[in-house]
Amino acid sequence: MTNSVRNTAVAVALAAGVGGATSAQASNWILLQGTEPFGKAHTLQAWGFLQPTFRSIEDEDLDVPGTPFDGDRAVFNTLGPDRQSAQSFSLFRARLGARGVLHPVNDKINYFFLAEFGDNGITRLGSPGTGSVSPQLTDASVTFRHYAGGGSSDPWKPGVSLRFGQFKMPLADEGSRGIMSFDYINFSEVTRQQVLERFIRNNNEGIDGSISAFRDIGVQLFDEIKVTDKWEATWAAAVGNGNGINRLDNDENLDVYLRAQTAYVFDGVKRGGPRREDLKLFAWSQQGKRQFDDGGGVDEYDRKRHGVGFHFYKQPYRLSGEYIWGSGMVFDGATRTDSDGNPVPGPGISDPNSNFGYLPQIAPDEDNEFDGWYVEGAYFPIPNKFGIQARFDRLNRMTNNDARHRQFDTWTIGLQYWNHPVKGQWQLNYRIRDLEAPDLPGGHNANKVGESMGNEIGLQYFFLFKNVALR
């Protein structure tokens, strides 16, 4: 076997066998978000971005004759985090941060800082009941690169780096990338519902604090390796509190995160930027425990998530897909509440004319399972400028329980226009949404509720700004 073939086989085996990944829009996001370029980094670079957004859902009242919720509005036809309206303008994300190296202390110590000021599940759920945005710290980490490249001046040689603090964990492809490379306004349903965690301690009190935003507080070891001139391999292994952002551990259990990838870089292995052209294979895993009160007292339950996928990007084409599965703590939608906030049977309702409300639900048993996937692609008739794209995604939730099994199918059709390769992008998306209870009769109330799920249109602009304040 030649060295070239052997090295290529090693790279493919790493992605298939370790259980982790970097990700998306053809970039190595573990490097881009956690490190600075060797010999070229700044001491202080101020940066941030804005995402003004408009979304509108075709709101249909529930048509379930003979039930108390007939004529009400299901919560899935409303916009979070308020869940009060089916359409709205919003400043969806607005983040401000700084990054660089700790010069003159040591240029191999990198830092990354970011705070969120937008209107979303990070800022609104961080201070529930206030009705206003509460800015939250999303990232604050230090990366030690002393042994990157084995301590040499070449970071692509085998070695190890250490990142410490609050940061994005090596999870699903959609969640791991930088915002400037998000190809759609909405995540796929399997990523949104089952990887993006909501912290629910029992099913009677709602969500406890900010969503995870794919982040945790902990420590990560990682390395990037140049296998051949055009093949690279990257791995990451992390442990974290498993309790979200901006708070301490609550149960003395640590989550374990693993990720690996291999990539064929068309113009040669290099750090690159957010739109590096390559072909990637990746895999990842998260395993942890959560404390949850199921009505019989607080107990500990497993929460396991895994995924494998690929990503191809070379102008004028993009094609990617991912399969995600998991067990244990499964997000199970929302249930109805009465006027006093007590849960009662029926779908979650968000309707000012109804006496009912909603509570997000968790199904905690270790036998609970889900799986989901997406495939998406794009063609750029004007390369690096204008793209036409489409995605299909499916989530099968609670596949172990015929009565609670729900299947979400979503087509997303979109247009992208870049008025700058990285700093400015328009997105126009139309989502065709379908919800079924496939193991129940077509006339069952669960399927009648699903028939009211409306389609959605969204328009969003992304603007990135950065300035070198101190070299």
Range of the domain at 35: 3-332+363-470
Determine the Cα–Cα distance for residues 16 and 3; give it in Å rounded to an integer: 20
- CB neighbours (10 Å) of residue 213? 20
Helix ranges (DSSP H) in 246-389? none
Closest CA to 357 of 370, 374, 338: 338
Tell me whether residue 425 is in a domain: yes
User: How do residues 147-193 score in pLDDT, each as one tens digit?
Assistant: 998 888 888 899 999 999 999 999 999 999 988 889 999 999 999 99
pLDDT for 383 equals 93
Tell me whether residue 218 is in a domain: yes
Tell me whether residue 348 is in a domain: no
State which residues of the chain have pLDDT below 50.
Answer: 1-25
Tell me whether residue 341 is in a domain: no
Q: Which residues contact 132 (CB under 8 A, 6 or more apart)?
A: none
Number of domains present in the structure of the chain: 1
Tokens found for residue 338: 């009465």
Determine the Cα–Cα distance for residues 274 and 26; give it in Å rounded to an integer: 7
The model carries a pTM of 0.91
CATH no. for residue 29? 2.40.160.10
pLDDT for 471 equals 65
pLDDT for 131 equals 65
pLDDT for 8 equals 36
Determine the Cα–Cα distance for residues 453 and 434; give it in Å rounded to an integer: 6
pLDDT for 23 equals 32
Tell me whether residue 171 is in a domain: yes
Tell me whether residue 355 is in a domain: no
pLDDT for 399 equals 98
Q: Which residues contact 399 (CB under 8 A, 6 or more apart)?
A: 369, 370, 371, 405
Tell me whether residue 343 is in a domain: no
Tell me whether residue 105 is in a domain: yes
